[in-house]
A and B are shown apart, each in its own frame.
Chain A
Amino acid sequence: MRRVYVNEEWCLGCHLCEYYCAFANLNGRDLARTLKNVRINPRIKIEERNGISFAVSCRHCDEPLCRKGCITGAISISDGVITIDRDRCIGCYTCILSCPYGAVSPSDEGPVQKCELCTKNIYGTPQCVTGCPNAAIVYEERW
């Protein structure tokens, strides 16, 4: 299955992926209009220290700990993509605590959010990948 992978070697720490993520998940059409005066809460985040930077988002694990911990069955895998059913989620945050990558976070418009590979927004394909200026984030089949 194709997943989002990060090439740390080419990450510039420009943080554009975070903005494209927030923009796509707000189903925006014009980036300036959608994000003007908005404090973004993206599902992909840049980790950086000592000149090293890379983007972190959901790895879409084969055996996801977030799903294992979910007490209402709101987290499921469909076609390899780990998705959240917002109607079933009660906001207990067990998934946030159990994800070893810190890829699940509280959401502004529902209990929790995580990368769903842009399958639930108007774009359909990962916008962090499309927007990365240096091919540091790629969407490909690896194993």
Chain B
Amino acid sequence: MAINYIYPDYEIARNQDRCINCRVCERQCSNGAHEYIEDLNKMVSYDEKCVNCHRCVALCPTRALKIVKSGHTFKENANWPGKIINEIYKQAESGGVLLSSMGNPESFPVYFDKMLINASQVTNPSIDPLREPMETKVFLGPKPQKIERDEKGRIKKVLPPFLTLSMPVMFSAMSYGSISYNAHESLARAAEEVGIYYNTGEGGLHEDFYKYGKNTIVQVASGRFGVHPDYLAAAAAIEIKMGQGAKPGIGGHLPGTKVGPDVSRTRMIPEGSDAISPAPHHDIYSIEDLRQLVYSLKEATNYQKPVIVKIAAVHNVAAIASGIARSGADIIAIDGFRGGTGAAPTRIRDNVGIPIELALACVDKRLRDEGIRDNVSIVVGGGIRSSADVVKAIALGADCVYVATAALMALGCHLCRSCHTGKCNWGIATQVPELAKRLNPNIGYKRLVNLMNAWKHEIEEMMGGMGINSIETLKGNRLMLRGVGLNEKELEILGIKHAGE
């Protein structure tokens, strides 16, 4: 169209005094936002191509670059902020659904930031985790209801299958296809080293990664990509994906351009074909149907592996979770509305679902009230940003958390939210070989291990402060939390007291 309605969101600020024309910015930008002009002997930038991913900023050897918010503005209007006006312009031009990536960026309340953690003073001793043993190990799966003994009085050891984690954090589902081979390798190797699990997502398991099987959760989603007996047999656990926090109620679409030879073989679909995951599982329309799939998968793996059912946090999440707990699933994973994605319709991402803190609190309470809490473990994801969030989630009743956005950030993600373009400059959300090689898994996995170790130390510090030496003692211990600035209803749902009470 002749008129360009959109002014760039960001401007590339180049300090010409520091720029040495090394051209690293030009070589590293997959969007072509920088160019060297020979006759001027000068670098120039094109703001409209910039996605604000900071690749050039991070690699510039002289710190000559920074990205600044564009000062360009519309006439102020509280009802029509610039973002909404621009979206209208975009849709008027394209006629299409707006696409976005990563988690909901809008200013909804973050309940984790409105809860504070307790600490011991005088009457109960705090514990120094550097001097005394501290247990962060968790087990996921149904807990035995009673101890059974044989006729000689010995304990019968018939435990249902469960997962053992060195700390209550796992890497949540990101498919091969949505993220690169190198990103998957980094996650798999880090999970193995830390003693936790990573999740393949719905894109199958690359043949090179079967060796990390004992730290792998494989996913069975509505598209059933890459699901075959060896895939199920390779894993430590199987996850049925019913929903995703970033886009509850809708499926997925991996464009054919990302389905190269490797992705095609792993997903078991033709090269170059779009990988479309339907919104529902076409064989699941009730808890009874879900039960059939849970037991089909258990049957297929000889009842050796726990089955996880993952749902998005939506309005009736407690009732749904109650159904899942009765379906034979061993673990329920709940994904909050802040959860990330490689691509989602903007309106869905920004307007559908509920906060994970509230979903977790109401699911935990519902399952306790119904006396079925021990039938399942609860894993929550979609909004966990730090070890403090982990501690708060455990205190609210989770057994473990899922992190993905934080893990990708450890690998270099700068949350530019352009995954859906497939041109990730950090080599994460791309299948372009020249871009994917920018993520060296030898570096990536170490950064993930560092992040997990750092969080583990912090979790131990916070537990020690509360006088708690085992994560199991913290689980569901809501007296360790107090709310600040929350109303009666919010406190009631979270099941916590207000600070000062």
Pair A12/B28 contact, Cβ less than 8 Å: yes
Pair A32/B440 contact, Cβ less than 8 Å: no
Cα(A135)–Cα(B28), bound, Å: 16
Pair A15/B62 contact, Cβ less than 8 Å: no
A87 to chain B, nearest CB (A): 32
Pair B27/A14 contact, Cβ less than 8 Å: yes
A-B contact count (CB 8 A): 58
Measured as residues with beta carbon below 8 angstroms from the partner, the interface class of chain A is: 20 to 34
Q: Is B442 an interface residue (CB 8 A)?
A: yes
Interface residues in A9-47 by Cβ distance below 8 A to B read 9-10, 12-16, 19-20, 23, 31-32, 35-38
Cα(A81)–Cα(B443), bound, Å: 28
A30 to chain B, nearest CB (A): 8
Asked if A19 meets B61 with Cβ closer than 8 Å, knowing A12-B28, A38-B20, the reply is yes
A33 to chain B, nearest CB (A): 9
Cα(A44)–Cα(B86), bound, Å: 47
Contact of B20 among A31, A131, A133, A135 (CB under 8 A): A31
Cα(A37)–Cα(B19), bound, Å: 9
Chain B contact residue count (CB 8 A cutoff): 22
The chain B residue sitting closest to A12, CB to CB, is: B438
Q: Is B370 an interface residue (CB 8 A)?
A: no
Contact of A15 among B17, B27, B63 (CB under 8 A): B27
Q: Residues of A contacting B19 with CB < 8 Å?
A: 32
The chain A residue sitting closest to B64, CB to CB, is: A32
Q: Is A107 an interface residue (CB 8 A)?
A: no
Pair A20/B61 contact, Cβ less than 8 Å: yes
5 interchain residue pairs of minimum CB distance:
A32-B62, A32-B18, A35-B20, A10-B440, A134-B440
Q: A residues near B, CB below 8 A?
A: 9-10, 12-16, 19-20, 23, 31-32, 35-38, 51, 131, 133-136
Q: Contacts A14-B24, A14-B59, A133-B59 given; 13 further ones with Cβ under 8 A?
A: A9-B437, A10-B437, A12-B437, A16-B24, A19-B20, A19-B22, A19-B24, A20-B61, A35-B20, A36-B17, A131-B61, A134-B437, A135-B440
29 contacts between A and B (CB under 8 A): A9-B437, A12-B27, A12-B28, A12-B434, A12-B438, A13-B27, A14-B27, A15-B22, A15-B24, A16-B22, A16-B24, A19-B22, A19-B24, A20-B61, A32-B20, A32-B62, A32-B63, A35-B20, A36-B17, A36-B20, A51-B433, A131-B61, A134-B438, A134-B440, A134-B443, A135-B440, A135-B442, A135-B443, A136-B440
